[in-house]
Amino acid sequence: MDIDFSVVLVSLVGICGILWLLDSLLIKKTRLAAIEKYMSGQGKHKSDDEIADAVADLAREPLLIEYAKSFFPVLLIVLVLRSFLMEPFQIPTGSMIPTLEVGDFILVNKYAYGIRLPVIGTKIIDVATPDRGEVMVFIPPHEDKYYIKRVIGLPGDTVRYEGRDLYINGELISKELQGNIQVDTNVGALPGTLYTETINGIEHATQHIDGVGQRRSRTSWVIPNGHYFMMGDNRDNSSDSRVWGAVPEKDIVGKAVAVWMHKEPGLNLPTFSRNQLIN
């Protein structure tokens, strides 16, 4: 399982906050008592400079407390921004090619589909629901990690995918042929075809491996209430709802809105040539 950065952030904020609170309620009193004792005893016979140095030394916070107070507001701000506003996410696989490439860094709008508590994911404020054609980050039913795909089916929809034709509630989704391409797969480059597809007014590219789409055993799905059917734009090289089923509403993370950086795997510097909004 991938490291859940939200859990790490919440834990660090909690630890820093508890240390700060303990210092305010308990530990600080010990330092003040030590200063008072010094002033009523040894301090009576010292010069002003000696008293100032001694008091500063006695009032000094333990290093752990000092770090906790310094990091707490910074970590809290990062937690709030990441949990309720925007979260960065890196594309790990090629399932969304050609829309998103491996190595793209994207921004995920965390409030587009409702405000959720960090870690547990409970929705506390409704904002909107996912719509067909949008690109969404979520946790799939079979694995505890972030996935990114395109929303194809809403609750109650009937989705049919035969060959390269996509039907939603019996209506054929329009697509326009762009040309022949080579599709990279784990067995090498294979001949394929590039299309421009339009769902709910959202125009985006999809790619297909020649001859693969016709071999799928299942072609039709009815989407349960509170679930969403997700597909990758790399239609014949994507593990998605056609394999592991629809995504529950409770496992939605947010809406992918923009590519802000790209880095090729390995020892390569990041670039900003692919910066763009996500359709």
Tell me, yes or no, if 149 is annotated catalytic. yes
Query: Based on C-alpha coordinates, what's the Rg of the chain?
Result: 27
Please identify which of the residues 83, 110, 149, 255 carries the catalytic annotation.
149
Please identify which of the residues 6, 95, 238, 241 carries the catalytic annotation.
95
Tell me, yes or no, if 40 is annotated catalytic. no
Distance CA 185, CA 53 (A): 69
Which residues are marked as active site? Answer: 95, 149
